[in-house]
Amino acid sequence: MIFYATALSSYSAKVRIALCAKGVVFEERLPPGGYRSAQYQAIVPMGKLPAIQEGDWVLSESEAINEYLEERYPEPPLLPQGAQERAQVRFLCRFHDLYLEPPVRALFAQVDPAKRDAERVSLLRQDIVRRLGQLAQWARPQPYLLTASLSLADCGPLVTLPLAGAVLSACGQALVLPDVLQRWLDAASQHPAAAQALLPWHQATQAWLYPKEVR
């Protein structure tokens, strides 16, 4: 399996967690020519990251990839057994992608102090805090968000929650997670697959946010 990704891509990190949790053997590659290049779009027409390739078969979009990995490599499972429990995990995956991650991503344009709009940062922080409050209401750490073992619901937030705090800090604002989410993050981050998968992302994120400090 070829895994097209970059170290800085949070959605690549989300899929890398699932790949590592499943023990899938893969070769990680940068998108040839960059993800906006015609060369990469000849492989992945949407030109988005991440993507996987097996032979001539290509799949993009992180949630579709993680669902495929769950079916293709059923052990260890990243979805619980019960229909309602599986639906709840999938709901949190959608909530992350559609509602929690977008305001965090919108902060990226505010990292450069010369281009920063303090009012915009404050509004985005309010939106993030609201979404985290919603997530906290649904979370039932066991110690993972909804389950006793790592699930697909953990993969996105394991990236986005620390990213939100790091980017807001770089923009001069603090973020305090709800207690239930902080306890979950402290425990879930220790999962071997998560620690392995997130290491390149952590390093790339620090280099992006604080380039002078990592020289």
What domains appear along the chain, each with residue ranges and CATH number?
2-72 (3.40.30.10), 83-213 (1.20.1050.10)
Q: What pLDDT is attached to residue 213? A: 53
What is the pLDDT at residue 214? 46
The residues, ordered by sequence, that sit 6+ positions from 106 with a Cβ below 8 Å of its Cβ are 124
Strand (E) or helix (H) holding 19: helix 10-22
Say how far apart CA 172 and CA 211 lie, in whole Å.
Answer: 16
What DSSP character marks residue 31? P
At position 96, the amino acid (one-letter code) is H
Structure tokens at 66: 């993680």
pLDDT tens digits in sequence order for the chain, 215 residues long? 999 999 999 999 999 999 999 999 999 999 999 888 999 999 999 999 999 999 999 999 999 999 999 999 999 999 999 999 999 999 999 999 999 999 999 999 999 999 999 999 999 999 999 999 999 999 999 999 999 999 999 999 999 999 999 999 999 999 999 999 999 999 999 999 999 999 999 999 999 998 865 44
DSSP type of residue 30? P
Given strand 2-4, what is the order of strands in its sheet? 27-29, 2-4, 51-54, 57-60
CA atoms within 13 A on the CB side of 169: 12
